[in-house]
Amino acid sequence: MKGLQDKVAIVTGAGGGIGRQICLRLAQAGAQIALFDIDAENARAVAEHVTELGVRCSVYPVDIVDHDVVGDAVRAARSQFGSIDILINNAGWDLAEEFVKTTPELWQKIIAINYVGPLNLHHHVLPVMLGQGAGKVINISSDAGRVGSSGESVYAGCKAAVIAFGKSVARELAKSGISINTVCPGPTDTNLFRDFAGEGEFGAKVRAGLERAIPMRRLGQPEDIAGVVAFLASEDANYITGQTISVSGGLTMHG
């Protein structure tokens, strides 16, 4: 992939299943990585592998829900690395529950992490990119935001919001050299998915049912997501903005 060497990427949720693979894929292409995660320990473990690949990286313990904390971390990353060329909004969270059994407190938490968090990142990083006259943003949404998902209604709403928000800002900034695209994973084998599916016999049934429904007959692996993210962050994607791409083994097929 062209043009990732020495670029500086912020990756949120860098210590998680998909975040880890995104960091490693970008680092393999020569990008420097600012790892943002509320779980600094997991992010540090990923940073060790990134360092072994011979690129610079740094961990920022960040709760993406907090606008001021995000601002401080973005300024620190910019001062440490000199620029911010790529933003990957990957951090996310959910708790599976039928909507009628949920509480407003749970909605607030889901909305804060999955929608307000990405807004905070955009709000602090886009001015930097505007100053540079270039930048690439990739938002990790979900197929839940395209087709819905039982037990994930509020999360699905946030993920749909991320798609529409990204398209809107992509329109505003296309002439300024900034592109914003969205990647929608389908069911992908990470802690988040395991929490959603549940444990024991029930979890195994959910997993088997999904594997039957997915045309490629397997769950996604975090590695399956990282390639398209790296492509969208690269110069090979210079004429692509406002797009939404599902990576779901064919479970969802959009025109």
Ligand X SMILES: NC(=O)c1ccc[n+]([C@@H]2O[C@H](COP(=O)([O-])OP(=O)(O)OC[C@H]3O[C@@H](n4cnc5c(N)ncnc54)[C@H](O)[C@@H]3O)[C@@H](O)[C@H]2O)c1
Q: Where on the chain is the footprint of ligand X (CB under 6 A)?
A: 12-13, 15-19, 37-39, 42, 62-65, 90-93, 113, 117, 140, 142, 185, 187-188, 190-193
As given in the structure block, the two tokens for residue 253 are 């097929």
Report the nearest approach of ligand X to the CB of residue 15 (Å): 4
Could you tell me what percentage of the chain is helix, strand and coil, using 3-state DSSP and rounding each to the nearest 5?
A: 55, 15, 30
Nearer to ligand X, 175 or 199 (CB): 199
The b-or-e profile of 94-131 (16+ CB within 10 A means b, else e) is: beebeeeeeeeeebebbbbbbbbbbbbbbebbbebbee
Report the nearest approach of ligand X to the CB of residue 42 (Å): 5
- Quick check: 8 and 36 in contact, CB under 8 A? no
Nearer to ligand X, 95 or 134 (CB): 95
* Residue in 62, 67, 26, 28 with CA at minimum distance from that of residue 42: 62
Of 60, 115, 155, 239, the catalytic one is 155
Nearer to ligand X, 90 or 179 (CB): 90
Report the nearest approach of ligand X to the CB of residue 232 (Å): 15
Cβ partners under 8 Å of residue 148, min gap 6: 156
Q: Closest-CB residue for ligand X?
A: 16
Nearer to ligand X, 64 or 128 (CB): 64
Report the nearest approach of ligand X to the CB of residue 69 (Å): 9
CA atoms within 13 Å, Cβ hemisphere of 158: 23
Report the nearest approach of ligand X to the CB of residue 224 (Å): 11
Cα–Cα dist 124/26, whole Å: 22
Q: Is 155 a catalytic residue?
A: yes
100: helix, strand or coil: helix
Nearer to ligand X, 17 or 135 (CB): 17
Tokens 């444990």, located at residue: 199
Catalytic machinery residues: 155
